[in-house]
């Protein structure tokens, strides 16, 4: 078993790929995505997430570069989960982060790496591309889900307890 996450990037998806994942159509999602989604990402556990993001991007196309994308492990060349913001930052700079890692890829540092990539993306001074984007990072470890994080200068995170009880 691989013990730590390699270099990952969060790959945001075009609307057509979000729609294919929302429908559970892995073949179409692979054809429409910049990287190949996994069967887990097109499966029933993730379908509701993709439906929500598909509808969100249809209503607000500018949110496409902020919402959930594929967590891609560069060294292994495969999708290991999904991560992103629930929406672009609000006026105060608050964002809510969500992620899910394939059960077969958990406890290898991917959740922490995804969180680090998202924090780097939302930090002041970080380029914020409209539309799709890719954000590399390398960090081992795991952190709780469901964190609400306010991004402040110096990338200091101030948040609430995640579902697993870890304080951010």
Predicted pLDDT at 47: 97
Location of structure tokens 């290991």: 80
Low-confidence ranges of the chain (pLDDT < 70): 1-6, 122-168
Closest residue by Cα to residue 142 from 85, 77, 71: 71
Predicted pLDDT at 146: 39
Predicted pLDDT at 165: 36
Angle at 46 between CA 23 and CA 71, to 5 degrees: 110
Kind of pairing between the strands at 8-11 and 134-137: antiparallel
pTM as predicted = 0.73
Joined together, the tokens standing for residue 46 give 């993730």
Q: How far apart are CA 134 and CA 71, in angstroms?
A: 10
Contacts of residue 54, defined as CB under 8 A and 6 or more positions apart, other chains included, come to 15, 18, 19, 21, 22
Q: How far apart are CA 41 and CA 99, in angstroms?
A: 12
Q: How far apart are CA 58 and CA 39, in angstroms?
A: 24
């Amino acid at each position: 078993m691989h013990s730590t996450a390699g270099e990952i990037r969060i790959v945001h998806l075009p609307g057509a790929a979000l729609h294919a994942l929302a429908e559970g159509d892995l073949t179409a999602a692979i054809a429409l995505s910049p990287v190949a989604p996994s069967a887990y990402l097109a499966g029933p556990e993730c379908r509701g997430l993709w439906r929500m993001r598909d509808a969100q991007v249809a209503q607000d196309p500018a949110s496409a570069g902020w919402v959930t994308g594929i967590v891609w492990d560069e060294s292994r060349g495969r999708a290991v989960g999904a991560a992103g913001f629930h929406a672009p930052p609000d006026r105060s700079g608050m964002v809510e982060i969500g992620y899910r890692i394939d059960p077969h890829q958990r406890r290898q540092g991917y959740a922490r790496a995804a969180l680090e990539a998202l924090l780097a993306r939302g930090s002041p001074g970080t380029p914020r591309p409209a539309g799709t984007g890719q954000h590399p990072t390398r960090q081992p470890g795991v952190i709780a889900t469901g964190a609400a994080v306010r991004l402040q200068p110096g990338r200091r995170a101030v948040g609430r307890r995640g579902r697993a009880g870890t304080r951010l």
